[in-house]
A and B are shown apart, each in its own frame.
Chain A
Amino acid sequence: MSDNNDIGLKIGDACFANPVFLASGPAGYGIEYANYLDITKVGGIVTKTISFEPRKGNPGVRLQETPSGLLNSIGLENVGAEYFFREKIPVLVSAGVKPVISVAAEDWGDYRKLIDFIARQENIEIIELNLSCPNVERGGMAVGSNPSLLGRYVRHAKDLLPRIAILAKLTPNVSDIARLALAAEEAGADGITAINTVIGMDIDISRAKPVFKRVRAGLSGPAIRPVALDAVWRIARTVDIPVIGVGGISSVDDALKFFMAGASGIQVGTALFYDPGLPARIIEKLEAGGIPPAIKYSVDKTERKDDDGTAPHNSST
């Protein structure tokens, strides 16, 4: 393989053999897909978001299909940090997988406990801060849509975990996602993951009631791909740290589009449910042809940072 085709990725000090990851949530705790995909060959697996304490998640219906999409209201059900590091991580590590630990908190107090806890763990190279989940009452999007709060959370993690790379995962449910990305970068994030699910809802007409007990849910899958692609494009023009694109990738070509929009890596989420072989096919394509170059624009960095990102420069519409 020539150097041109080196598809390795570095985020902070964390190195990955390739830039294809499994997304937090759909990938579970990482080993569930072992019969369907050689999990040691993906760049890394972003594990199901954990909180300090275990969470039961949301009651009622949790999944509803839409045209080319999936609404979910799982509500960050998870086993909690202690159990996760004791029971789940060793299995992943001994299976030869690089885990990216996804973390979330309900409030600042919880967050500090969680980050403290992670600081005491060994051999963790990278975490992804999920401050963007739409399916929880507290924490989640409330933090992730406020640049100064987001910055505070990122900076705290960075201060306590100086050797661990930090990815900030952003919500698209804001008016200017690039501004949040910039806030995360300025607070010391080593990379940006974009995007989490898009808020949606559905109604069960036979009962004249919303499908979900919490009414609103998170939309994922091919239906949100244009939203994710636009977010990645805007963020990549705004920050200098790597951007990991996620949202609706369901074919090799979709993945290539994210790299062309400026992503340094990608995550496969919902597509795992119906096509678990997809990450392997994307990796094979990248190994054969290298990472496609990002689309170039004739604007410089300062201009980009001032730009509100609402319209491409060469667009007449």
Chain B
Amino acid sequence: MSLEKKRPFTVRIVENRKLSPSTYLIILERPNDFPDPYPGQFISVRVNDQTVPLLRRPFGIMDINSETMTILVKAVGPGSTILASKAAGEQVEMAGPLGGMPFSRPGGKDVVFVGGGTGLGPIIFCARSWKREATVGKMHLFIGAQTKEELLEGLYEKDFDQVYTATIDGSSGHKGNIVELLEEEIEKGGIPAAILYSCGPRPMIRALIDRVGPKFENHYTSLESVMACSLGACRGCTVPVIEDGEKTLRSVCMEGTVFRAEDIDWEEWE
């Protein structure tokens, strides 16, 4: 009798498309019994069968259908670079869908998404799922990158009602960071009092809370943290939060990845 359970899955890479100097769109075959993920969930990929790098690497799901699922991979270090260098036909082991707390549905309301860095994938997944379910009002995307190439223009425009872009080097859209652009647009009066969803680096999320948080009804953010088990077992990925006035720790992998931005205890986290 085999003791092996069916997960993690070994999956074939169907396609690996280079979108920019550092970003890759990787389409994986979807195993038959891979459960339907919620927006905000992720998979964790073992990039090779060696012990360097040791841990699996988490990637947000960007799209899924009955045959394939797509992740957006930015090559930043050894693990993501190995994954990004895989060709169609190669196999990887992965587990998922992971993540306990998905992005809550907007319930017909307008939505402002803010994405930075690798935060774009989960945002595209949200927009596509909600549009399919018709549970969303207008969707605005604010997307920032270092350079025009990293904005990945052409990938997502049709998924949103309006797209605003910013680059740090000014090569496309607003010159500067994406939070400044959102702040300016709010001042101009063009942005609805909607629900804010963010996904990206910590300084971006912090700036959103400080500079535009109160303008929104709610702000949900999907956090990143270094993960070992991705299952809530090791307590390695915790973030400090304040809930009902009490300081506590929540695991990003199981009790996140999505948190109410105002619950995060930034003083403790930094």
Contact = CB atoms under 8 A, between A and B. Distances in A.
A109 interface: no
B233 A32 contact: yes
Nearest to B265: A59
Contacts of A36: 5, 7-8, 95, 231
Contacts of A27: 233
A62 B238 contact: yes
B56 interface: yes
Interface stretch (B46-54, B60-68, B133-141): B46-54
B82 interface: no
A222 B51 contact: yes
A41 B3 contact: yes
Contact of B233 (A28, A63, A67): A28
B231 A33 contact: yes
Contact of B55 (A56, A70, A284): A70
B229 A272 contact: yes
B233 A33 contact: yes
B232 interface: yes
B51 A250 contact: yes
Nearest to B78: A65
Given A57-B238, A70-B55, A273-B56, 4 more contacts: A29-B233, A48-B233, A63-B228, A277-B5
Contacts of A272: 229, 233
Which applies to chain B's interface (DSSP): helix, strand, loop or mixed?
A: loop
Which applies to chain A's interface (DSSP): helix, strand, loop or mixed?
A: loop
B238 A67 contact: no
Contact of B249 (A56, A63, A283, A284): A56
Contacts of B7: 35-36
Contacts of A57: 235, 238, 249
Interface string B28-40: 0000000000000
B54 A63 contact: no
B234 A38 contact: no
A273 B234 contact: yes
Interface string A275-294: 11100110110000000000
Contact of B46 (A37, A270, A274): A274
A28 B234 contact: yes
Contacts of B234: 25-26, 28, 63, 72, 74, 273
A32 B55 contact: no
Contact of B3 (A35, A38, A74, A270): A38
A60 to B, nearest CB: 8
